[in-house]
Structure 1
Amino acid sequence: MTAARAGDGTANSDRRPCSATDVRGRGFSSRAALPVMEGWIDAAVAPLPPLAVPLADLAATLAEGVVLAAPVTAPGNWPPADRAARDGVAVASSDTLGAGSYNPVPLPGAVTVAAGEPMPPGTDAVLPVEAMQTDGPFVEALGSAAPGEGVERQGEGLRAGTVLLKAGHRLRPQDLGLLAALGIDVVHVGARPRVRIVLAGGPRSGPETLCAMLAALVARDGGVVELVGPLPADRAALAAAYAAPGADLLISAGRTGVGEDDVAPLALADAGGLALHGVALRPGDSAALGWAGGMPAVLLPGEPMACLTAYELLAGRAVRRLGGRDPALPHPAVPAVTVRKLVSEIGCTELYRVRRTADGMVEPVASPHRPGLAGAVLADGFVLIPADSEGVPAGATVTLRCFDGTNL
């Protein structure tokens, strides 16, 4: 499926607006399971068209996490011909038979070569400088060389058609070096989604908190941020900001709960459509999904830890999909053993912030009920407890997902 830029008015049957249920003052009658929310994102968000970028222009953008939009294959054999693998003299191996320090053998056809140079015609080995001596203009072998010794054969490194790098691969400096050596001068990479972040209603925790955190998260996932707000908790003002053209994805933070001024979901319904409001996730249970002005939208809670959780599991997935990246969590996953039980409630996915102990086990820093980012800062990562689990007993093996910058 070829994606158009979200926000261009492209027709899509999944973008039908739906009536919004007003949960203010009455609470949620139900919340969608996390896999349902993830499935909605996967169905509604398609990768943007890839970009053809000259190889010379990619070096300056590697820090931004450039990913391939299509696999790269070797255009030909590498090396394209037999070449010297070391400095020395190129010889016919048969000419060195019987050579030794007490029996120098003259090499009238020897040619001095440097590593990487093509093998001269009639030669099939490279004698190292330590195994030869010169006597005026003459070269003598002090040791024998087997056929192919000191030679990198044609196609030994790569065969034509070999897949070098898969789609979604994050380019590294060594990748650019190999592509340049192979003569590949244009690479198709994932686009950088334009992400509008709207701070709704002046988050009670302070807009600078969410602004700094969300801008960094979107940049990590390959997006380009447009920051709007903080805006007042006004339904019409928020709807206008949501529906404005020029972005590929809307992320709004704040005013998603059950308070009287929690009007963000209603504003999203006015701006396009509210698909799902409320997720069985702790923290982050008031997150919502929908459409605004033709682009997908994710509403995040204003409480910082709930906002972080909902971004990682929902909004970040949308950003990564738009840019052609792996939509799964980007955090390194390693096995760990729990020091004590992680208590959980059936029917709700819970995120536990944990740290590693001196003996390599993990213990909770803060429960999913505790707000604030301090626990996340003190933690090495998090453990997700699935909705069908009552918790994890002490001594159980869990998957620790390491926060960005945490040493494994």
Structure 2
Amino acid sequence: MSSARAGDDPATGDPRPLSASDVRGRGFSSRAALSVMEGWIDAAILPLPPLAVPLAAIAATLAEGPVLAEPVTAPGDWPPADRAARDGVAVASSDTLGAGSSNPVPLPGAVTVAAGEPMPPGTDAILPVECIQADGPFVEALGSAAPGDGVERRGEGLRAGTVLLKAGHPLRPQDLGLFAALGIDVLCVGARPRVRVVLAGGPRSGPETLGAMLTALVTRDGGVVELVGPLPADRAALAAAYAAPGADLLISAGRTGVGEDDVAPLALADAGTLALHGVALRPGDSAALGTAGGVPAVLLPGEPMACLTAYELLAGRALRRLAGRDPVLPHPAVPAVTVRKLVSEIGCTELYRVRRTADGLVEPVASPHRPGLAGAVLADGFVLIPAESEGVPAGATVTLRCFDGTSL
């Protein structure tokens, strides 16, 4: 990958007229397949070094969605010893033989216990409260117990060395509760990448639209946002913002197309490398990949729906890899049946915004050609039509990927 300034004379370094390598003003002669862009991301980006964090600190930041960077195994058997599984009286089961409501049996060695307490020596069962009667200090059994009744045996829940959770697992309250019980007080979790989000050239949709949306998306995927801009459509200003130190990932939105003011790709080449520009994806075909200041960079279109699509399929993948998360789409995937045909163009991956009908089928809310976020807001999720497909016929089963916050 060359780091020369796109559009400059390689011999003198001076600016030169638009060349065959500069697509502005004439459209894309070719676009990389989505799989090629994904392959570049997977090859170029490795997870950041994980962090060892105390359990209490993780509990305080659980809303930020920390994920395990390494598997967690049980350090010992759980429970570590036989214990009561219910409130009652711990007894030797042999002492209760023949006991019944009409034949109370004295229990001179009975010990009252609560659920979770260790079994006293010499006992092997728990009689529930309703199966005993007390007369002062004397306790009598009104029913018999078999060995192990009401007892949780050592290691019944977990055996030492059992893998509890795998790397990449998003941590939940119940996970932290079990770890605390097991005496695990430090966890190795994925880092939270520092993500510089540059609003390039004052996106025509309004910088507040893309800024709000990208901040939420980056936070969802485990990043910490540094929002920059909107900056003017100036090649040097953008290149300086791209190359500035302090970020683990650069995401820029706007000015990625083929017009004279679409200088973001050229600025990325100035700041590092422009590896791929133009993807066979609709919406989002003007996205680009490269490096800036030594870190991965993803350029997103300025049109909001194209920006959302390219983020989910490209920038989000890059960020999730950096954060040590599963790089695939984070949206729940469920089977669904189409109401009518979803038309698609061979050679281009297309994202259809769809909603569920009253009878559980899905229908398109907006075609991949229609801009704007209104269709995404009204949709329950989206269906990806692969590049090799001419579309999906009515009545076909598709994979519906539900948008964040959408009920399955």
Distance 1:137 1:257 in 2: 87
Q: Assess if the C-alpha contact under 8 Å between 2:304 and 2:372 holds in 1.
A: yes
Q: TM-score, normalised by structure 1?
A: 0.95
Hey, what does 1:7 align to over in structure 2?
A: none
In the alignment, residue 324 of structure 2 is paired with which amino acid? Answer: G
Counterparts of 1:184 and 1:351 in 2: how far apart (Å)?
44
Q: Which amino acid aligns with 1:17?
A: S
Cα distance in 2 for residues equivalent to 1:129 and 1:339: 59
Structure 2 match to 1:292: 292
Is the contact between residue 103 and residue 142 of structure 2 (CA under 8 Å) also seen in structure 1?
Answer: yes
Amino acid at match of 2:116: G
Distance 1:314 1:72 in 2: 30
Within 5 Å, give how 1:210-289 maps onto structure 2.
210-289=210-289
Deviation at 1:27, TM superposition (A): 1.2
Instruction: Spell out, residue by residue over 1:242-266, the C-alpha distance to the aligned partner (whole angstroms, 9 max, x if none).
Output: 0000000000000000100001001
Check the 8 A contact 1:19/1:274 in 2, yes or no.
no
User: 5 Å matches for 1:58-97?
Assistant: 58-97=58-97
Matches within 5 A, 1:230-379: 230-379=230-379
Check 1:407–1:358 CA distance in 2 against 1; reply closer, same or farther (3 A cut): same
1:109-188 matches, within 5 Å, as 109-188=109-188
Amino acid at match of 2:110: A
| Amino acid in structure 2 at the alignment position of 1:309 | T
Cα deviation for residue 18 of structure 1 reads 6.1
Q: Is the 8 A contact 1:273 1:290 kept in 2?
A: yes
Write out the 4+ residue segments of structure 1 that deviate beyond 4 Å after TM superposition: none
SS at match of 1:56: helix
Whichever residue aligns with residue 126 of structure 1, its letter is: I
Task: Compute the displacement of 1:16 (Å).
Answer: 5.3
Give the match for residue 29 of structure 2. Answer: 29
Structure 1 counterpart of 2:3, from 3, 17, 37: 17
TM-score where L is the length of structure 2: 0.95
> In 2, Cα distance between the equivalents of 1:215 and 1:389?
33
8 Å Cα contact 1:45/1:322 also seen in 2: yes
Q: Secondary structure at the match of 2:61?
A: helix
1:260-306 alpha-carbon deviations (Å, 9 max, x no partner): 00010010001000000000000000000000000000000000000
3-state SS in 1 of match to 2:28? coil
Q: How many Å separate the matches in 2 of 1:266 and 1:190?
A: 33
Cα distance, 1:69–1:371 mapped onto 2, change above 3 Å: same
- Structure 1 residues without counterparts, runs of 5 or longer: 1-14
Structure 2 CA distance for aligned equivalents of residues 52 and 177 of structure 1: 18
In 2, the alpha carbon distance for the partners of 1:179 and 1:192 equals 22
Q: Deviations over 1:115-161 (max 9, x none)?
A: 11111111100111111111221111110000000100000010000
Matched, 1:208 2:208: yes
Alpha carbons 2:5, 2:266 under 8 Å: kept: no
Secondary structure at 2:252 match in 1: strand
How far apart in 2 are the matches of 1:136 and 1:221? 63
- Root-mean-square deviation (CA, aligned residues, Å) is 0.9
Match of 1:144, SS?
Answer: coil
CA deviations over 1:200-220 (Å, ceiling 9, x no partner): 100011111100000000001
Equivalent-residue separation in structure 2 for 1:324 and 1:333 (angstroms): 21
Q: Distance in 2 between matches of 1:135 and 1:16?
A: 91
Separation in structure 2 between the aligned mates of residue 319 and residue 120 of structure 1, nearest angstrom: 53
Counterpart residue type for residue 283 of structure 1:
P
Q: Tell me, yes or no, if the aligned pair for 2:4 and 2:270 is still in contact at 8 Å.
A: no
2-structure distance, mates of 1:227, 1:111: 64
- C-alpha separation in 1, matches of 2:168 and 2:320: 10
Contact 1:97/1:144, CA 8 A, preserved across alignment: yes
| Alpha-carbon separation, structure 1, partners of 2:245 and 2:251 | 14
Aligned partners of 1:17 and 1:275 also within 8 Å: no
1:18 and 1:218 map into 2 onto residues whose CA distance is 30
1:399 correspondence with 2:403: no
Displacement of 1:112: 1.0
Distance 1:17 1:281 in 2: 26
Q: How far off its partner does 1:96 sit?
A: 0.4
Contact 2:5 2:270 in 1 (8 A): no
Q: Is the 8 A contact 1:18 1:275 kept in 2?
A: no
C-alpha spacing 1:397/1:19, structure 2 compared with 1 (3 Å): farther
